[in-house]
Amino acid sequence: MRTRPTLTWTNPGPSLPRTSTLADVVPIVERGGVLVLSGAGLSTESGIPDYRGDGGSLRKHTPMTYDEFTGSEAGRRRYWARSHVGWRTIAQARPNAGHHAVARLSPRLCGVITQNVDGLHQAAGTPDVVELHGGLDRVICLDCRRVTPRLDLDHRLREANPDFAVTTDEVNPDGDVFLPEEQVRGFRVVPCADCGGVLKPDVVFFGENVPRPRVEQCCSLVDGARSLLVLGSSLTVMSGLRFVRRAASAGIPVVIINRGETRGDPVASHRVDLPLGPSLTELADLV
């Protein structure tokens, strides 16, 4: 059964007191065995906006859902036209200070789970990253299930749409951009080169379930961790929140560093409100 996309949430109770110091976080990280769970807020300093911050993309657009993509040829055309433009920005993005700090902390980590699809953790040199929602750097055929590089599809889309010359700086975390309908209408979508099936980015759309084996892998990481460090995520969607709740239920300390409230605040042991790049750099220096 598909889940309904969760786009917003309301805090039902008082907010957890926040601190602007890392004093309580340092000894937790120094002990090692830290599992990182990162969200879109970690990539904002790389020029990729988050979903729900002050300038979050959900204030401007509704992201593509799984049902719309699979059930509508027009929906797929709209997605691929917009993504064809937006992916260039994602592909050119570079890791920021926060990504590099996480990579420096690797000896203290037991793993990294990211909700991001931009590949910036890996580009910064962090090993063994679990991409909870997949990655925009590859494409999967919904018919034959073959996975191919996004770069190959980009070349094919350019050949199929030689007169499609649209640029914009307003990219969303999922690689989508806003384009008016008249620019989308004539865009040509290409099928799978092997079987002629429908191509989809190898990412989990809103309303789509994370593959069960990936969920089980993440649960295993949580169970083996000594602490969970949440970075730049509002934890609005259950795909990430469930790991926070699992850790808290097991008595594993949950540290959240994020600007603004998160859905995981009620179960967090420590709540830090600081910009991620500078604070994570400081944390890596201290430990």
Confidence of residue 97 (pLDDT cuts 50, 70, 90): very high
Q: Tell me: pLDDT of 175 over 80.
A: no
Residue 16 confidence (pLDDT): 60
Residue 164's pLDDT is 87
| Dihedral Cα 148, 152, 153, 155, nearest 10 deg | 180
Q: What is the pLDDT of residue 56?
A: 43
pLDDT at 10 over 60: no
State which CATH number among 3.40.50.1220, 3.40.50.300, 1.20.1260.10, 3.40.190.150 fits the domain covering 25-286.
3.40.50.1220
Position 19 confidence tier, pLDDT thresholds 50, 70, 90: confident
DSSP SS3 for 183: helix
The share of the chain scoring above pLDDT 90, in percent, equals 72
Binding residues for Zn(2+): 141, 144, 192, 195
Mean pLDDT of the chain: 89
Do 47 and 93 form a contact (C-beta atoms < 8 A)?
yes
Dump pLDDT digits (tens) for 195-246: 999 999 999 998 899 999 999 999 999 999 999 999 999 999 899 999 999 9
Q: Parallel, antiparallel, or unpaired for β 109-114 and 129-131? A: parallel
What is the Cα–Cα distance from 193 to 195, expressed in whole angstroms? 6
Average of per-residue pLDDT across 150-166? 92
Instruction: Provide the 10 A C-beta neighbour count for residue 71.
Output: 10
Distance CA 200, CA 177 (A): 16
The CA distance from 53 to 81, in Å, is 26
Looking at residue 50, its pLDDT comes to 73
CA–CA distances in Å: residue 227 to residues 28, 179, 218, 251: 7, 43, 14, 9
Residue, of 60 and 104, whose pLDDT is higher: 104
Q: Are 222 and 132 in contact (CB under 8 A)?
A: no
CA angle 249, 128, 135 (to 5 degrees): 95
Q: Which of 17-31, 60-74, 94-108, 118-132 has the lowest mean pLDDT?
A: 60-74
239: exposed, middle or buried (C-beta count within 10 Å: 0-12, 13-18, 19+)? buried
Q: What are the beta bridge partners of residue 228?
A: 35, 254
Could you give the angle at the alpha carbon of 33 between the alpha carbons of 202 and 282, nearest 5°? 85
Mean pLDDT across the stretch 106-134? 97
Banded model confidence at residue 249, pLDDT cuts 50, 70, 90: very high
Q: Rounded to an integer, what distance in angstroms lies between the CA atom of residue 35 and that of residue 283?
A: 15
pLDDT per position as a tens digit, 177-191: 778 788 888 899 999
Q: Looking at the predicted structure, is the pLDDT value of residue 64 above 90?
A: no
* Per-domain boundaries in the chain: 25-286
pLDDT in the model for residue 99: 98
Active centre residues (catalytic): 133
pLDDT at 1 exceeding the cut of 50: no
Across residues 33-62, what is the average pLDDT?
Answer: 76
Predicted TM-score (pTM) of the model is: 0.89
pLDDT at residue 22, rounded to an integer? 95
Q: Say how far residue 103 (Cα) sits from the centre of its chain.
A: 17
The CA distance from 240 to 247, in Å, is 11
Burial 111-123 (b: 16+ CB within 10 A, else e): bbbbbbbbbbbbe
Q: What is the DSSP string of 80-127?
A: HHHHHHHHHHHHH----HHHHHHHHTGGGEEEEEE---S-HHHHTT--
β-pairing, 34-38 with 227-231?
Answer: parallel
